[in-house]
Amino acid sequence: MYLCLDCRACETACPSHVEFGDLMERARGQIERHIPRTWQERWLRRLVFAHLFPYPRRLELMFQGLKVYQRSGLQALVRRLGLFKLMPERLGQMEAMTPQLPSRAFTRSVPDVIQGQAPVTKRVGFFSGCVMNLFQADIHHASSRVLQANGCDIWTCKQQVCCGALHMHAGERDLARDLARRNIDAFEQQNVDVIINNAAGCGAQLKTYGELLEADPAYAERAKQFSTKVQDIAEFLAQEPLRGPLGSVPKRVAYDDPCHLVHAQRIRQQPRDLLSQVPGLELIPFTDAEFCCGAAGIYNLTHHDMSMRILERKMEHLQAASPDVIATGNPGCMMQLQTGVQQAQLDIPVVHPMTLLDEAYRAAPE
C-alpha cells in the first residue's frame, strides 16, 4: 500500500469515478493502527508528525539551523568532502534536496493584511502552510503581489498551521484531524470570500476537511463550509482575465502538472490559461506532462530508488522539449524536478507559475 505514489491518476482514468486516494489513505490509517513498527520507526514518525510539523515555532527553529548551515559555508564544505556518504542514506537524500533558504519566513515579513490595488473586489485568506512559508517564501511573495494586482485584500492568518497532507499520506489520520480543527479555528477569525493556496498538495488536503471531520459533531458543518471556500490560486485567478498591464516574458515554458492539482482537484487548464496571457511567453507541450515526477509527498525519501526511476522518465521528456523554464505548482514537485535538472546537468530553472506572472507584472511599462 505504501509503494503506491498516491498520485490519483487512476481516479482520472477510472470510468466509475472510484475515489481511490481516499481508500488508499484510509487503508494506510488501518496499517498504522494494526501493524507494529520497529521502535526506531515509531520514534521517527512521532518526532516528525506529532512533535515537529504541528508546531510552527519548532519548524522555524529547524529553519534557522538550516539557514546557519547554508550561510556559514558548512554546507559547501560537507558537500565538497562528501561527508554525507558516512551518514544515514536518507539524511543525505534530504540534504541534497534542500533549496537555498530565504532570509525570513513569509508570515514574518508581511503585515496581517496586505492591501490590494484598487478597485478591490475580493478579500481572501492566504494559506501559507509550513514548508513553503519557510523554504519558499519568495513564491508566497510573488503570489501575494499577483493577487494584489488583481484587486485582492489578503489576510495572512498568522495562527494557521500545517494542512495535514503529509500526515494523511502516512496514515496519521488523527493528527491530520487535529491540524484541520486548528486551521478551521484560525480562519474563522475573519470573514473572507475565498481561502487561497498555491501548493497542490495543501489545496487537495484543505478541500477534504469536510470529509475528514464529518463524524465530529463540533466541526462537521464548519469543516464543510471551510472546504467550500478553498481554491487553488490558479483556479481563483483564471475565473476572470488578468488585470493589466503585463510586460513581456520571452521564455519557452514547459508546464508540468502536479498530481494533486490535475488529478485530485481536477485543475488542468487554468494554469495554462493564465500563463498564455503573458506577452512573449510560449507554452511548449511535452510528453507525459500529467505523469507523476516521483516526489509524491515524502515518497522520494521513503522509496528513493523508485522515485528516482520515475523522475528519470520525466526528465527525458523535459529534456527532449528543451524549455527555457520548467513551471509547476507544488513545492515538493519543484524540489524533485530541481533535483532532476541537477542530475541531468541542465541549466533550466524550475519555478512556480506565480513567479512567472509576477515577473510579467514587474516587466510592465510604467
Q: At what angle do helices 331-343 and 89-97 cross, to 10 degrees?
A: 100
The pLDDT value recorded for residue 270 is 97
The pLDDT value recorded for residue 265 is 95
**Residue 279 CA from chain centroid, whole number:** 27
Residues of the chain with confidence (pLDDT) below 70 = 85-94
Note the residue count of the chain.
366
The pLDDT value recorded for residue 87 is 65
Digit-coded pLDDT (tens) for 23-56: 988 898 888 888 888 888 888 888 889 998 899 8
The pLDDT value recorded for residue 236 is 98
Given a contact cutoff of 8 angstroms between Cβ atoms, the answer to whether 246 and 281 are in contact is no
Digit-coded pLDDT (tens) for 191-250: 999 999 999 999 999 999 999 999 999 999 999 999 999 999 999 999 999 998 999 999
The pLDDT value recorded for residue 91 is 67
The domains found in the chain, sorted by start residue, are 106-238 (1.20.1050), 251-363 (3.40.50)
